[in-house]
Structure 1
Amino acid sequence: MKANLSNPVLMKEIKLRFRSPKSFVGILFYLAAMSLFVIGFIYLMTQDGSSGGYLDPGQSYLLFTMLTYIQLVLVLFITPGLTAGAISSEREKQTLNMLLTTSQTSFQIIIGKLLSSIAFLVLMLVSSLPLYSIVFLYGGVSPKQLLQLLFYFLLTTVAIGSLGVMFSTLIRKTIISMIATYGSVLALLAVTGFLSVFFAVLSQGGASPAAHLFAAINPAVLTASLLAPDSGGFLHEVTNLRWPIWLIYLLFYLVVTATSVFVSVKSLRVNMARGK
């Protein structure tokens, strides 16, 4: 049973990644930059004469919002760089053939590469939790909001990471795979936002399922709906639909993750056979 659950690919990749000094230096600089941002924000807000030298819940909530969107940018633009070369880099180094001759199944290889690639980003997200704890000292934010945001950030990270691994499996060149993954992220942000507005205008005030669906799968819209429930109500007013944004987002990205992993597993050894 233990042998079936073990994943040597995952263990090897995690050891190589986390034993590198670059990983810890990267986390150090990230936390240092975030800490300077938080301290600078608190200093500027408390220097305002109208605040009386303290941070009120409204300002604390503003700090929480800014930290959340920084984390969202981190997820959307670092995840492709960590995952888009998972398989293609092995192919370019001519080590994929050796990996495929082991007793590891295609599923174990894909999952090992995916989890090891996003593990570093997950560590960065978790390591920033003490900065969020500063926000709780001043009120304005509930722990439920933080847990919801972390859950959906993790879901988004896994989904985008699975897209990166899929493109890395299908495309032989890492740079092209990275471009395709970043293009997918751009589509999830900009294209879905544009299509949502387009269909909302096209409906001329009537019910617009397409506008609601495209907005619901946009990471920025979901984050706004979790931070401020009123923004979700605004979307309901525009599209005249009451479908829950969080549920649509959850189902869509679970399907994206499952589909990407399935395609990666099915294409891994097929592409190698074609490349011989």
Structure 2
Amino acid sequence: MNDRLSNPVLMKEVKLRFRSPKSFIGILFYLGAMSLFVFGFLYIMTTFDGAGSGFVNTEQSFILFTVLTYIQLALVLFITPGLTAGAISSEREKQTLGMLLTTTQTSFQIISGKLLSSIAFLLLMLISSLPIYSLVFLFGGISPLQLLLMLFYFMLTTVAIGSVGVMFSTLIRRTAVAMIATYGTMLALTAVTGFLSVFTASVSQLGSAAGQSVMAHFWASINPAVLVASLLAPGSGNILADMTGIRFPVWITYLLFYAVLIIVSVFVAVSRLRVNMKTGK
């Protein structure tokens, strides 16, 4: 049982990544930049009264939390492809993939180990920024549930984009091409879905087509930026409902779509890893 649950690929990749000083230097600079931004924002937004006392109102605290959230979202969207798109293709380019496939590890263990080790660094960056997020609670306007929901959906998005990156890394022989395909998918899930949601919503309002309204709601619901807006301001979901005429929670569609995306991407990667081998692993 212990042999089945263990994943040597994951342990090796995690040790190699987190023993490198570059990983922690990157986290240091990231947290340093966020700290400078937070303290600079608080200094600018602090209002002083006649007695010399300063305070920050809840509206300004909410603005700070919103900006930090979108910074974290940009981090997830733009760094994850670079961490995962070379997971398998780099092994192929170094001519070490054949050696890896001759081990007793199953295809799922190899793919899951590569995936989890690639996104572990990004998850560490998200978790390490929690103390900076906690400064917002000093001024009010934000509930702990909002923060927990943000972290959950950030992790879901990270795993989804990471799964797509590992899938392309398995299907495509060159790391550069796999990275381009992964970044293209990320742009499709953000910019393209945003355009399609606005376009189909406009068409549905002109033609009163129910099918177009459903598609407009779907394209908007799988957009990470729309999801973040719906979690930050629940009233924004009413704006989408007024545009499409469909009152269905954005977070449910987002959760189902990205869960299916993870399953399909991992399944394709596992099934194609040993495509030229006779073994059933």
Q: With the length of structure 1 as denominator, give the TM-score of the two structures.
A: 0.96
Give the secondary-structure state (helix, strand or coil) at the position aligned to 2:235: helix
Shift of 1:47: 5.3
Residue identity opposite 1:252 in structure 2? F
Residue identity opposite 2:19 in structure 1? R
- The answer to whether the 8 Å contact 1:155/1:253 transfers is yes
Kindly, what percent of the aligned residue pairs are identical? 72
Q: Quick one: structure 1 residues 95 and 41, their matched pair in 2 at CA, closer, same or farther if it must change by over 3 Å?
A: same
- The answer to whether the 8 Å contact 2:111/2:166 transfers is yes
Q: Quick one: structure 1 residues 105 and 194, their matched pair in 2 at CA, closer, same or farther if it must change by over 3 Å?
A: same
Residue identity opposite 1:247 in structure 2? I
Task: Determine the C-alpha separation between the residues in 1 that align with 2:57 and 2:116.
Answer: 40
Task: Determine the C-alpha separation between the residues in 2 that align with 1:272 and 1:230.
Answer: 54
Shift of 1:124: 0.1
Residue in 2 aligned with 1:86?
87
Kindly report which structure 2 residues correspond to 1:31-180, keeping only aligned pairs within 5 A, or say none.
Answer: 31-46=31-46, 53-180=54-181
Shift of 1:271: 5.5
Shift of 1:272: 7.1
Task: Determine the C-alpha separation between the residues in 1 that align with 2:249 and 2:236.
Answer: 12
Residue in 2 aligned with 1:12?
12
Task: Determine the C-alpha separation between the residues in 1 that align with 2:277 and 2:4.
Answer: 25
Q: Quick one: structure 1 residues 123 and 197, their matched pair in 2 at CA, closer, same or farther if it must change by over 3 Å?
A: same
Give the secondary-structure state (helix, strand or coil) at the position aligned to 2:54: coil
Residue in 2 aligned with 1:192?
193
Task: Determine the C-alpha separation between the residues in 2 that align with 1:265 and 1:48.
Answer: 60
Shift of 1:54: 1.0
Task: Determine the C-alpha separation between the residues in 1 that align with 2:18 and 2:276.
Answer: 30
Shift of 1:244: 1.1
Residue identity opposite 2:77 in structure 1? L
Q: Deviations over 1:175-215 (max 9, x none)?
A: 00000000000000011011111110111164400000000
Q: Deviations over 1:113-143 (max 9, x none)?
A: 0000000000000000000110001100000
- The answer to whether the 8 Å contact 2:111/2:266 transfers is yes
Shift of 1:270: 1.1
Shift of 1:38: 0.3
Residue identity opposite 1:18 in structure 2? F
Task: Determine the C-alpha separation between the residues in 2 that align with 1:237 and 1:168.
Answer: 41
Note the aligned Cα RMSD (angstroms): 1.6
- The answer to whether the 8 Å contact 2:47/2:56 transfers is no
Are positions 1:232 and 2:237 aligned together? Answer: yes
Residue identity opposite 1:21 in structure 2? P
Runs of 4+ in 1 over 4 A off after TM superposition: 47-52
Shift of 1:52: 6.6
Give the secondary-structure state (helix, strand or coil) at the position aligned to 1:270: coil
1:263 corresponds to which of 244, 264, 268: 268
Task: Determine the C-alpha separation between the residues in 2 that align with 1:37 and 1:105.
Answer: 45
Task: Determine the C-alpha separation between the residues in 1 that align with 2:100 and 2:48.
Answer: 60
Q: Deviations over 1:66-118 (max 9, x none)?
A: 00000000000000000000000000000000000000000000000000000
Are positions 1:215 and 2:216 aligned together? Answer: no
Q: Deviations over 1:136-179 (max 9, x none)?
A: 01100000000001000000000000000000000000000000
- The answer to whether the 8 Å contact 1:46/1:52 transfers is no
Q: Deviations over 1:196-246 (max 9, x none)?
A: 111101111644000000000000000000001111110011000011100
Q: With the length of structure 2 as denominator, give the TM-score of the two structures.
A: 0.94
Q: Deviations over 1:39-72 (max 9, x none)?
A: 0000001157799721111111100000000000
The count of aligned residue pairs is: 273
- The answer to whether the 8 Å contact 1:170/1:271 transfers is no
